[in-house]
Amino acid sequence: MKAFKRISITVAVLAIIFVALASFTNPGKRYFEIAKNLDIFATLFKEVNTLYVDEVNPNKVIKVGIDAMLKSLDPYTNYIPEDDIENFRTQSTGQYGGIGAITSTLDGKIKVVMVMEGYSAEKNGLKIGDEVLKINNVDVYNLTREETSELMKGQANTAVSLTVKRFGEEQPITLDFKREKITLDNVPYFGMVSEDVGYVKLTEFKMQAGKEVKNAVVELKKQGAEKIVLDLRGNPGGLLIEAVNIVNIFVPKGKEVVSTKGKVTENNAVYKTLNAPVDTEIPLVVLINSASASASEIVAGTVQDYDRGVVIGQKSFGKGLVQITRPLSYNSQLKVTTAKYYTPSGRCIQALDYSHRNADGSVGKVPDSLKREFKTTNDRPVYDGGGVDPDVLVAKETLSPIAHSLYVKGHIFDYATEYFYKHPDKSTARNFELTPAEYSDFKKWLKDKDYDYTTNVERNLDRLMKRAKEEKYYERIKDQLYSLEATVAESKQNDLDDFKNQISKLLEEEIASRYHFEKGSIETSFDDDPDIIRAIEVLGDTQHYAKLLYPAGNE
Catalytic (active-site) positions: 294, 305, 319
| Residue (of 141, 179, 182) closest to 163 by Cα position | 141
Q: Is 383 in a helix, a strand, or coil?
A: strand
Distance (Å, whole) CA 393 – CA 109: 40
Residues 6+ apart with CB under 8 A from 189: 199, 200, 201, 518, 519, 522, 523
Question: Would you say the C-alpha torsion 350, 354, 359, 361 has a positive or negative sign?
Answer: positive
Using a 10 angstrom Cβ sphere, with 0-12 exposed, 13-18 middle and 19 or more buried, the burial of residue 16 is: exposed
Using a 10 angstrom Cβ sphere, with 0-12 exposed, 13-18 middle and 19 or more buried, the burial of residue 421 is: middle
Task: Tell me the H-state helices in 366-499.
Answer: 401-408, 411-422, 436-445, 456-470, 474-492, 495-498
Distance (Å, whole) CA 447 – CA 385: 49
Read off φ and ψ for residue 176, nearest 5 degrees. Answer: -105, 140
Distance (Å, whole) CA 475 – CA 468: 9
Other C-beta atoms closer than 10 Å to the C-beta of 423 total 13
List 333's β-bridge partners, or say none: 80, 327
Other C-beta atoms closer than 10 Å to the C-beta of 419 total 19
Q: Is 376 in a helix, a strand, or coil?
A: coil
Distance (Å, whole) CA 213 – CA 211: 6
| 275 neighbors 320 (Cβ within 8 angstroms) | no
How many CA atoms lie within 13 Å of 476's alpha carbon, on the beta-carbon side?
5
Distance (Å, whole) CA 415 – CA 407: 11
Distance (Å, whole) CA 240 – CA 209: 11
Other C-beta atoms closer than 10 Å to the C-beta of 32 total 12
